[in-house]
Structure 1
Amino acid sequence: MVRRMRRLAAVAVGGLAALLLPFTFAEPAKAAPKAPPAGVDITGHGLAEPLKLRADSHPAHVVAVIEQVNFRGLVRQSTKPKTADLGPKYTVVVLAGDVPKQTYDLYPKAVGGPRVFRPAKQPDARKTTAAWFLGRVSMSETLRTAGVPLERTHETVSGGVGGGERIIPEDSLNPAQDINEAFVELRRLLLLNVAVVLVITIGLAGIALLIRRRTR
C-alpha cells in the first residue's frame, strides 16, 4: 500500500511539473522570422530615377516600406478619393529576387490622411481587384527615411490608420520608456516563476504529509 501511494505521488508531482514548468522557466516559443522580400523599387514625384532598396543592404527600410502596403489593419474604402485631394504619388514595386511581384500606389500627402491604391493589374499576373485603402499615418516619414524627397513630419497617434488628430512633439519622446517597460515585464515574469515554485513546493509538502499519515 505504501509503495503504491509513493508511486502515485511521484506520478502526480511529475505530471504537475511537466505541465507548469514549460510555461514559466522556458521562454515562450517564437516562430522563426520570415526573411524579407528581396527589395522594393520606388518611383514618383521628385525622384529623377527609381529608388532601389534591397534587403541585403537596406533591410530595415525594405521591411518598413512593405509594412505600408500590408493590408492587415488597413481600412478599405468603398469609393475612390478625389484626384485633386491625393497629392504626389509614389509607386512601390515589391521584388522577389529580380522579379517584380506586386505594385502599389502610395499617396502620403492625401487630404484626410495617407492613401494606398492596389491596381488590379499586378506584375506577377495574379488575380486581384483594384482597391483603395486608408494608409498608415507613418507613411510619409517611412518614405522620407527611405530616401524619398518629402518634408519631415511628426507621426500622429490615432490608431495607426488614417489622418489622425494629435501630434507627438519630438521633445515629448522618452528614450528610456522601452527599457523601463522591459524591466517591468522581467519583474512580472520572475514573480510568476516564484509563485509557481511555491505552488509546487506546497503541493509536494501536502503529498509528503499524506503519505506519512498513511504509513503510520
Structure 2
Amino acid sequence: MVGKVRRLLGMVAAVTAAAVLGFGTAAPAEASRAGRAAPKPPPAGVDITGDGLTEPLRLRADSHPAHVLAVIDQVNWFGRTGAASGPKPADLGPKYTIVVLAGDAPKQTFDLYPLAKGGPRAFRPAKQPDSRKTSAGWFLGRLNMSETLRTAGVPLERQFDTVSGGVGGGERVIPEDSLNPGRDIDAAISELQRLLLLNAGVLLVITAGLAGIALLIRRRTR
C-alpha cells in the first residue's frame, strides 16, 4: 500500500514539473512573438508646398514636434462631409498643400487658404494618397491658420488680427492709444466744464429776465 502511494506521488510530481517547464518555455516565446507583432509606429511628419516655397517644406516630429502638431491640428477636426462649394477663386488667396505622413508614407492631403476673404478655408480632395474613401469638401479653417503656417516656415506676412491659439500666439486687436485712461478723463472734464458754463449762462439769462419783469411791475404799480 505504501509503495502504491509513493508511485502515485512520484507521477504527480513529474506531471507538475513538466507543466511548469512547458509554461516557462512557452511564455517567453509568446512574449517574443508579441514583441515582433507590435513594432514601434513610425514618426509623423508634414510636407508643405505652395506660393512662395521654392521647394517643399518638410517637417518631422523628431525634429519639429510642435510645428508638426500645430499644422496637423489645422485639419484633424474636419468631419466626414464638407461644403460642396467654396469661395470664388479670386477670393481664396495663396494656396498651400499639406501632406500628412506616417514615417515616409503619405496618408492625407489638404489644400489650405489662410488668407481667404471671410476667413481661412480648407479643401479636402476626394483622392487621398492612401486610397482611403472620402468625399471632397470645403471647410472653415481655424483663425490662427496663417500664423501657424508662418511660424512653421511658410513665407506669409504676420497677421495682427489673430486673437489666440496656435504656434506664435496672438496680438492686441485694440490700438494701444485707445486704451489711454488719461485722455478719456481729460475729455470728460472738458465736457463737464462746457456743461457748467452753459448752465451758468442759462441761469444768468433767467435772472436778468426776472429782474426786468420785477422792475416793470414796480413801475406800473406806482
Q: TM-score range by the shorter chain?
A: 0.5 to 0.7
Does structure 1 residue 69 correspond to structure 2 residue 75?
yes
Displacement, 1:76? 4.2
Distance in 2 of aligned mates of 1:76 and 1:125: 19
Aligned-residue CA RMSD (Å): 2.9
Could you say which residue in structure 1 is the equivalent of 2:45? Answer: 39
1:134-213 matches, cutoff 5 A: 134-157=140-163, 168-169=172-173
Does structure 1 residue 101 correspond to structure 2 residue 107?
yes
1:19-58 matches, cutoff 5 A: 38-58=44-64
**Structure number with larger C-alpha Rg:** 2
SS of corresponding position for 1:117: strand
Q: Which has the higher helix share?
A: 2
Distance in 2 of aligned mates of 1:46 and 1:109: 14
Displacement, 1:168? 3.0
SS of corresponding position for 1:77: coil
Deviations 1:118-165 (A, max 9, x none): 00000000000000001001000000000000000125349x8xxxxx
Distance in 1 of aligned mates of 2:175 and 2:65: 28
Distance in 2 of aligned mates of 1:37 and 1:67: 16
Change (3 A) 1:61 1:170: farther
* Letter aligned with residue 137 of structure 1: L
Q: Is the 8 A contact 1:36 1:62 kept in 2?
A: no
* Letter aligned with residue 61 of structure 2: A
Which ranges in structure 1 are unaligned for 5 or more consecutive residues? 1-34, 161-166, 173-216
Could you say which residue in structure 1 is the equivalent of 2:94? Answer: 88
Q: Is the 8 A contact 1:36 1:55 kept in 2?
A: no
Displacement, 1:78? 4.4
Displacement, 1:77? 3.1
TM-score by length of 1: 0.55
User: Percent of aligned positions with the same letter in both sequences?
Assistant: 73
Does structure 1 residue 110 correspond to structure 2 residue 116?
yes
Bigger relative contact order (CA 8 A; separation at least 6): 1
SS of corresponding position for 2:119: coil
Change (3 A) 1:45 1:118: same
SS of corresponding position for 2:130: coil
Q: Is the 8 A contact 1:42 1:93 kept in 2?
A: yes
